[in-house]
Amino acid sequence: MGGWLLPRLGPGLLQRLARTWSVEFIGSEHHDRAAESGSYLLSMWHGRMLIGLPPHRQRDYCVLVSPSDDGTLMTGMLTRNGYRIIRGSTNQRTQPALRDMLAHLKEVGGALVITPDGPRGPRHAMNTGLAWMARVSGFPIVPCGFVCDRAWRLSSWDRCTLPKPRARVALVYGEPVWVRGEADEAEATELVRERMLEAERRGFERLGVEVDW
């Protein structure tokens, strides 16, 4: 029932709720710098998807969605909000779909949104798949931190965050990371992770509230 209701009712309800939010973009120069490359990767935590979804819906982003049941549940929400979908996982590097997707993005340009701790966590844990994608494609990674001052939080592993009515929202873009061909993927992964967490800290500081992790 949830799989039927969420894509039909969720997008409209989320949009109505988002209209009451006060949204601030921080570090847009980092986003713009990466966009100058033509194609780039936006990395955000799984539990922050609902914060970032409405403010970015007009940007023609593509989202990497896992083939899990969780990914299937979110597909309707994303497509109804104007996002393009690619089903795949950063855990499966040899997956033809991922290589085709990277080749397509390199040709047409644009952003690919990735939640590197999804679909099952642990929260804020990352494998090296994102760094591998950046290395083989040459795309920069923009570490993102999307936070709010008050929210409902689910008891799921990712503490999925939904800002309450009239919440203040901070969307923070961190300094881009380029993973060169000779780079150590584990080190690059840790650098991206640190910058994502720092982006969230910066957002919470801007809102004047404590971090929620």
Q: With respect to residue 192, please indicate whether it lies within any of the assigned structural domains.
A: yes
CB atoms within 10 A of CB 189: 22
- Per-residue model confidence as pLDDT tens digits over 197-212: 999 999 999 999 999 9
Domain span at residue 183 reads 2-207
Report the domain count for the chain: 1
Percent of the chain at pLDDT > 90 equals 62
CB atoms within 10 A of CB 9: 12
Identify the band that residue 16 occupies on the pLDDT scale cut at 50, 70 and 90: very high
Mean pLDDT over all residues of the chain? Answer: 88
Mean pLDDT of 77-83: 82
Q: With respect to residue 213, please indicate whether it lies within any of the assigned structural domains.
A: no
Q: With respect to residue 162, please indicate whether it lies within any of the assigned structural domains.
A: yes
Environment class of 136 (CB within 10 Å of its CB; exposed 0-12, middle 13-18, buried 19+): middle
pLDDT of residue 2: 45
Mean pLDDT of 127-145: 93
Q: With respect to residue 212, please indicate whether it lies within any of the assigned structural domains.
A: no
Percent of the chain at pLDDT > 70 equals 88
Which residues lie closer than 8 Å to 160 by C-beta, 6 or more apart?
Answer: 46, 47, 49, 50, 153, 154
Mean pLDDT of 165-176: 98
H/E segment holding residue 109: none
CA 40, 45, 49, 50 torsion-angle sign: negative
- Helix%, strand%, coil% for the chain, nearest 5: 45, 20, 35
Inform me whether the pLDDT recorded for 92 exceeds 90.
no
| Lowest mean pLDDT segment, chosen from 2-16, 50-64, 77-91 | 2-16
CA neighbor of 51 nearest in space, from 76, 16, 18, 82: 18
> How far, in Å, CA of 171 to CA of 27, rounded?
8
